[in-house]
């Protein structure tokens, strides 16, 4: 993809496996001038970042409550979240469209944030609940004996311990949100609010496609996710190996 981003369409199809003869940045220039990449990138950043913040806040709180507190409907609430893993969001496009229309959130980045947050929350709650259950309850009880409030127990004791898992949930949720094409296509019509994947359709013509420009745009679009993984890779690996060893 990166190699093709430095070539024009004719060159790509004439020798698809050949390397670019020179690093021609024309396609990248075209992405910003014709593709309005900066606007689409900013919209995707707002939607993805906002969704991740909501997912992590609600996911950690719900996971902590379900893992640490026993109440009558504890299992019912947990199963309710798990059923969200079994229902594809694509099956609910029509009801979601009607609901967002009634709420005045069509053609809105906030509407997309709510949709993505609701879709990713079941998996986040499942991961957080399982991880927190594996942590010894003595940590919480010792803090309470020392006079810590419930919020202080969560913020000062539990939150530092689940940072690796938050990295996993963040990366796991960010990738499909950033790369999604369907929901923005259905719920966003204003070109100034389109996300990257939706905006890249400008390179698809009725009779011909600008593949060089498209690959240049997709190469740039992949950078934030790669950087996110590089930044959080240490915590990501800690989260994957948490509980795998003793001591």
Q: What is the pLDDT of residues 13-29, one digit of tens each?
A: 777 777 777 777 887 88
In the block, tokens 């024309």 appear at 26
* 35-90 pLDDT per residue, tens: 788 899 999 999 999 999 999 999 999 999 999 888 888 889 999 988 888 888 77
CB 183 within 8 Å of CB 116: yes
In the block, tokens 């400008």 appear at 202
Of the options 1.10.3720.10, 3.60.20.10, 3.10.20.30, 2.60.120.10, the CATH number for the domain spanning 1-7+28-244:
1.10.3720.10
Which pTM value belongs to this model?
A: 0.85
Q: Where are the domains of the chain?
A: 1-7+28-244
Angle at 56 between CA 59 and CA 242, to 5 degrees: 80
Closest CA to 77 of 93, 64, 87: 64
3-state secondary structure of 108: coil
Closest CA to 172 of 11, 6, 62, 51: 51
């Amino acid at each position: 993809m990166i190699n093709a981003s430095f070539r024009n369409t004719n060159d790509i199809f004439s020798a698809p496996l050949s390397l670019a003869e020179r690093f021609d940045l024309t396609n990248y220039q075209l992405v910003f001038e014709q593709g309005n990449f900066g606007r689409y990138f900013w919209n995707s950043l707002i939607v993805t970042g906002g969704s991740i913040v909501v997912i992590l806040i609600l996911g950690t709180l719900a996971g902590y409550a379900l893992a640490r507190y026993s109440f009558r409907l504890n299992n019912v609430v947990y199963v309710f979240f798990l059923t969200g893993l079994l229902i594809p969001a694509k099956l609910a496009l029509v009801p979601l469209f009607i609901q967002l229309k009634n709420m005045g959130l069509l053609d809105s980045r906030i509407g997309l944030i709510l949709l993505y947050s609701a879709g990713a929350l079941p998996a986040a709650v499942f991961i957080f609940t399982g991880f927190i259950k594996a942590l010894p309850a003595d940590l919480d009880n010792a803090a309470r004996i020392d006079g810590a409030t419930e919020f202080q127990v969560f913020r000062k004791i539990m939150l530092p311990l689940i940072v690796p898992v938050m990295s996993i949930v963040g990366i796991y949720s960010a990738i499909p949100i950033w790369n999604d094409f369907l929901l923005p296509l259905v719920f966003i019509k204003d070109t100034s609010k389109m996300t990257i994947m939706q905006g890249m359709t400008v390179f698809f013509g009725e009779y011909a496609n600008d593949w060089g420009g498209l690959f240049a745009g997709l190469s740039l679009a992949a950078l934030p996710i790669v950087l996110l993984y590089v930044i959080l890779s240490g915590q990501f690996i800690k989260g994957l190996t948490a509980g795998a060893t003793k001591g």
